[in-house]
Amino acid sequence: MASVSLSHHHFNVLRLPANLKMVDDIRDPEHPYSLEQLSVLSEDSITVDDKLGRILITFTPTIQHCSMANVIGLCIRVKLKDCVPSHYKVDIKVAPGSHADEEAVNKQLNDKERVAAAMENPNLRQLVDECLHSREL
Amino acid sequence: MTQMEEERLKLTEIQTLEGHTDRVWGLAWNPSTGADGVPAVLASCSGDKTVRIWQQRSPSSTSFDCKAVLEDRHNRTVRSCAWSPSGKQLATASFDATTAIWEQNGDDFECVSTLEGHENEVKSVSWNASGSLLATCSRDKCVWIWEVLPGNEYDCVSVLQGHTQDVKMVQWHPKVDVLFSCSYDNTIKVWAEDGDSDDWSCVQTLGESSSGHSSTVWALSFNETGDKMVTCSDDLTIKVWGVDIERLLSGDGTGSWRHLCTMSGYHDRTIFSVHWSREGIIATGAADDAIRLFSESEDHSVDEPSYRLLLKKEKAHGMDINSVQWSPTANRLLASASDDGTIKIWKLE
CA distance B81 to B24: 11
Residue B64 lies in a domain: yes
Alpha helices in chain B, H assignment, sequence order:
3-8, 245-249
Helices and strands counted in chain A (H then E): 5, 6
Q: Across the A/B interface, how many CB contacts are shorter than 8 Å?
A: 37
Residue B185 lies in a domain: yes
**In the predicted model, what is the mean pLDDT of chain B?**
95
Chain A contact set for B75 (CB, 8 A): none
Structural domain span for residue B194: 18-348
Contact A120 B319 (CB under 8 A): no
pLDDT at A124 over 60: yes
Contact B79 A113 (CB under 8 A): yes
**Global confidence as pTM:** 0.92
Residue B83 lies in a domain: yes
Contact A89 B287 (CB under 8 A): yes
Domain boundaries, chain A: 2-130
Contact B168 A113 (CB under 8 A): yes
pLDDT at A35 over 60: no
CA distance A99 to A73: 13
For the beta sheet containing B64-70, the strands, ordered from the edge strand earlier in sequence to the opposite edge, are B24-29, B41-46, B51-56, B64-70
* Closest CA of chain A from B318, distance in Å: 6
How many structural domains does chain B have? 1
Handedness of CA B279, B280, B281, B285 (dihedral sign): positive
Strands A54-61 and A89-94: parallel
Do you know the residue count of chain A?
Answer: 137
Residue B152 lies in a domain: yes
Residue B234 lies in a domain: yes
Nearest chain A Cα to B186, which residue?
Answer: A107
Q: Which one, of B292, B317, B142, B233, lies nearest residue A107 by Cα?
A: B233
Task: For residue B235, give the CATH number of its domain.
Answer: 2.130.10.10
Give CA angle at B215 (B47, B203), nearest 5°. 95
pLDDT tens per residue, range B84-122: 999 999 999 999 999 999 999 888 999 999 999 999 999
Residue B76 lies in a domain: yes
| Domain A2-130, CATH | 3.30.300.130
Residue B319 lies in a domain: yes
Q: Which of B121, B287, B319 sits opposite A117 (nearest CB)?
A: B121
Contact B216 A114 (CB under 8 A): no
Question: How high is the ipTM of this complex?
Answer: 0.95
Q: Which one, of A109, A95, A28, A98, lies nearest residue A67 by Cα?
A: A109
pLDDT tens per residue, range B121-158: 999 999 999 999 999 999 999 999 999 999 999 999 99
Q: Which amino acid is at B157?
A: V
Contact B234 A112 (CB under 8 A): no
pLDDT at B315 over 60: yes
A116 touches chain B (CB under 8 A): yes
CA distance A82 to A84: 6
Give A134's pLDDT tier (boundaries 50, 70, 90): low
Contact B320 A112 (CB under 8 A): yes
Give yes or no for a contact between B286 and B269, defined as CB atoms under 8 angstroms apart.
yes
A113 touches chain B (CB under 8 A): yes
User: What is the structure's pLDDT at B180?
Assistant: 98
